[in-house]
Structure 1
Amino acid sequence: MIAEATDLLLSHLVLFVLVLTRLSTLLMAMPAIGVGVPKRVRALLAISLTFLVLPTLASVIPASDLPQIQNMIELGVAIAREALVGMLIGTVVQLLVTGIQLAGELVSSTGGMQLGDAVDPTTRSSMPTLARLIGLLVTTIFILVGGHRYMLEALMDSFRGMAPGQVVLHEGMLELVVLELSLGMNAGIRLGAPVVTALLMANLVTGFISRTLPGLNVLAIGLNINAIALLAVMAMSIGSAGWIFSAELNSALERIVEIW
């Protein structure tokens, strides 16, 4: 009896570690939580959610499917695989946010506003302020539409499809990351296309003015026209970032669930 009780305790302890690993890496990669939230708060949140999820998983997963860890090497491999699954779910959504920020990069470079850079806490690199603004906008929309709940639901679906300790990595996961990277960039280009078109038209108008009035300071006038066109068109089209992000987020979460 003592030996059986000890084996049961150890098996659930391993289950706790594996569930905590998958959940922790998801929180690390999740927008609005992975960056800006103190590490202690994230750790407490991960442990609390693990305690909430673990009884359900322990009752659903039969004893024969519980991970049988024989040594520390097998435990390390199992933890690494669990971390990859949690990171996959969070990275897919984060790639979408980063891709939409490409619109700010395109608009800033086309409109000559490269000097207005700010440090992005997600990538730890310099980024135009407009791109940072778009990133904050879509992150806010992510919280408002309940994206964090959808991601946790996708995590629970991953536990049903791949029980803790039974993770199998396949090429479909890598294909999903590449697909979301391309779709995120596509969404960013779609968002920035109206502004870039308006800036190109403004440059064309500036060229006509320079041909008509050769003595005019075209450089100063061109910068002012570009700034006015950028602000006007961006103010009218930035609301479409929410629609584009919401549609792409729903599609991304559906593709995540199909993997399991």
Structure 2
Amino acid sequence: MIALDFGFGALEQDFWRVVFLMTRIGAALLAAPLFGGASVPVTVRTCITGALAIFASIWMPAIPVPPALLSVEGLLAVAGEVLVGVTLGFVLQLAFAAPRLAAEVIAGSMGMSMAVSADPQGGGQTTAFGQYFNIVLVLIFLSLGAHLHWIALLMESYRAFPPGQTWLGPERLSLVIGFAGEMFATALRIGLPVTLILLLVQFMTGVLSRAAPSLNLFALGLPAAVLAGIAALIITAPLLHEQLTDLSQQAIAQTARVLR
């Protein structure tokens, strides 16, 4: 497994085998939104990666492993493992980016784009509605057991792409890029009902300000937009649940297509 020999024999070979398997799993968990969030401690992520690598080495002992990691062949195999893991995690990132994109549009229409908070997933900042949509998507994703299906697909990737045959090809990469279009379409479907209601409210506010110029447009329009936006989110909550459920299922299905 490595050019160095510390004299532990088979135990050392098993150790480097697990370390090699941790490469793909760790890259996938780091790129995935749930496991790779800034709020997840590195120690927890490393323990999960090591546990999954040990299970993979036991369940699939026939996985080919390069004889020496500190070689050109070994480094190319590691790079291929990282490519597959990042690709599988990036599919989930695209799915979780859809509600954040919709939240940015809704918050801008309501005049609440300046109400931002820390994003525990990405480590940056997001709007309050972005946090709301993200929490709802995480709960739906976990309730469907989609995280278990994704981990199962990650294990299945060792059969679809054994080490040394990890070049995905333009067809599979185009599937990932095409899923980005679905992400934009889902964000549009989430934000369209609320933005249409806000557009009507702004239209009515403009008519009132035109009919009665003495009214303060900013004092009237901002509270009306906020109240209308919150009411629209409450009304469209069942539709949001259905859309996020479909999005979670599409993310798992798209990951399976990449492996095929």
Rate the CA distance shift 1:48–1:93 in 2: closer, same or farther, 3 A.
same
On the 8 A contact 1:24/1:86 being kept in 2, the answer is: yes
Corresponding residue for residue 19 of structure 1: 21
- Residues of 1 paired with 2:114 and 2:222: CA distance? 14
On the 8 A contact 1:11/1:66 being kept in 2, the answer is: no
On the 8 A contact 1:191/1:238 being kept in 2, the answer is: no
Superposition RMSD on alpha carbons, in Å?
A: 2.2
Superposed CA deviations along residues 9-42 of structure 1, whole A, max 9, x for unmatched, are 7775554233211111122122322112211111
**1:195 shift after superposition:** 0.7
Aligned pairs for 1:80-229 (under 5 A) are 80-229=79-228
- Residues of 1 paired with 2:162 and 2:208: CA distance? 67
Rate the CA distance shift 1:77–1:241 in 2: closer, same or farther, 3 A.
farther
- Residues of 1 paired with 2:161 and 2:256: CA distance? 11
SS of residue matched to 1:91: helix
- Residues of 1 paired with 2:247 and 2:188: CA distance? 14
SS of residue matched to 2:142: helix
What is the identity percentage for the equivalent residue pairs of Structure 1 and Structure 2? 27
Amino acid at match of 2:154: L
Corresponding residue for residue 3 of structure 2: none
- Residues of 1 paired with 2:69 and 2:81: CA distance? 17
Rate the CA distance shift 1:52–1:75 in 2: closer, same or farther, 3 A.
same
**1:79 shift after superposition:** 1.0
- Residues of 1 paired with 2:165 and 2:19: CA distance? 14
Corresponding residue for residue 3 of structure 1: none
Q: With structure 1 as the length reference, what TM-score do the two structures score?
A: 0.87
On the 8 A contact 2:179/2:254 being kept in 1, the answer is: no
On the 8 A contact 2:69/2:75 being kept in 1, the answer is: no
- Residues of 2 paired with 1:70 and 1:197: CA distance? 57
Q: Any stretches of 5+ residues in structure 1 without a counterpart?
A: 1-5
SS of residue matched to 1:33: coil
**1:87 shift after superposition:** 1.3
Aligned pairs for 1:25-64 (under 5 A) are 25-35=27-37, 36-58=39-61, 60-61=62-63
On the 8 A contact 2:116/2:127 being kept in 1, the answer is: yes
Q: With structure 2 as the length reference, what TM-score do the two structures score?
A: 0.87
Deviates more, 1:66-75 or 1:247-256: 66-75
SS of residue matched to 2:60: helix
Rate the CA distance shift 1:164–1:217 in 2: closer, same or farther, 3 A.
same
Q: Any stretches of 5+ residues in structure 2 without a counterpart?
A: 1-7
